[in-house]
């Protein structure tokens, strides 16, 4: 497995984790396009004892200074419509076992891991004193304002990804037995903030079982990026 290349065979049983961005839910991550990801990875699996986690990032958007009631209602409606359409696709095409797909909000990880609060506070402290880390956050924020709300949005996302990849939270199981791997696949590039925190060991790196820890799969490019090799 080399950084910048596609994966060939994924051995053992584990989880394909797909973060669903609410900003891209009707463009790059429509139900049809997410289904395409399932189909693509199914051909790479050594065995069919794997589950899929659909991680809806709606909770991150509460890090907003102007999230009105109407926007919250719209956000929830978009999420529910997307999940229901995806369930219907899975049931209609009958290629996969419907119960092996788990639809979870990002708050599931925050509530079910003991480490989130500690990890978040660690990154907040580094953000206050490390100018290079702040620059990485700025790149991930993009054209949005470098504000407390947007900083927290990025840091929460990084903490959740790290908790998942370090297997510090249990996921629902249908076909998975041993939880040997967890792969995060996203229709876009890895986060600079996540890359920085991994390279500088800002958060604990204890899991040696998951072969995909410290990495992210870019589905647009069909390549995995392994931070230790970059």
pLDDT of the residue at 66: 64
- 125-135: string of b/e by CB count within 10 Å (b at 16+)? ebbeebeebbe
Cβ-contact 54, 20 below 8 angstroms: yes
**pLDDT above 60 (res 102):** yes
Question: Against a cut of 0.85, is the pTM above it?
Answer: yes
Query: Which residues touch 20 (CB under 8 Å, ≥6 apart)?
Result: 29, 34, 54, 55, 56, 57, 79, 82
Q: Report the alpha-carbon distance of residue 88 to residue 103 in Å, rounded.
A: 13
Strand partners, 185: 217
Query: Which residue in this structure is represented by tokens 């609060």?
Result: 117
> Could you read off the pLDDT of 164-206 as tens digits, one per residue?
999 999 999 999 999 999 999 999 999 999 999 999 999 999 9
Say how far apart CA 43 and CA 55 lie, in whole Å. Answer: 22
Q: pLDDT (tens digit, 9 = 90+) per residue, 1-58?
A: 999 999 999 999 999 999 998 888 888 899 999 999 999 999 999 988 999 999 998 6
Q: From 213, 182, 181, select the one nearest 197 (Cα to Cα).
A: 213
pLDDT in tens, 118-169: 999 999 999 999 999 999 999 999 998 999 989 999 999 999 999 999 999 9
Q: State whether residue 45 is helix, strand or coil.
A: strand
- Domain positions in the chain: 14-229
- CATH code at 14-229: 3.40.50.11710
């Amino acid at each position: 497995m080399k950084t910048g290349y596609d994966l060939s065979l994924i051995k053992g049983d584990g989880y394909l984790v797909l973060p669903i961005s609410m900003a891209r839910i009707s463009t790059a991550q429509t139900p049809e396009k997410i289904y395409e990801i399932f189909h693509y990875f199914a051909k790479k699996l050594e065995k069919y004892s794997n589950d899929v986690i659909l991680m809806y990032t709606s909770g991150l958007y509460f890090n907003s200074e102007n999230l009105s009631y109407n926007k919250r209602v719209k956000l929830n409606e978009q999420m529910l419509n997307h999940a229901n359409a995806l369930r219907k696709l899975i049931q209609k095409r009958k290629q996969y076992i419907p119960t092996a797909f788990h639809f979870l909000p990002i708050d599931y990880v925050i509530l079910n891991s003991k480490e989130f609060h500690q990890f978040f506070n660690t990154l907040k402290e580094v953000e206050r004193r490390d100018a290079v880390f702040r620059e990485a956050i700025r790149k991930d924020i993009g054209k949005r304002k470098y504000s407390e709300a947007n900083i927290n949005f990025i840091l929460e996302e990084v903490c959740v990804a790290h908790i998942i990849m370090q297997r510090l939270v249990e996921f629902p199981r249908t076909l998975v037995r041993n939880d040997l791997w967890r792969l995060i696949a996203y229709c876009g590039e890895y986060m600079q903030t996540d890359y920085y925190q991994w390279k500088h060991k800002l958060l604990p790196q204890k899991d040696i079982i998951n072969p995909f820890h410290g990495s992210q799969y870019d589905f647009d490019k069909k390549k995995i990026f392994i931070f230790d090799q970059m």
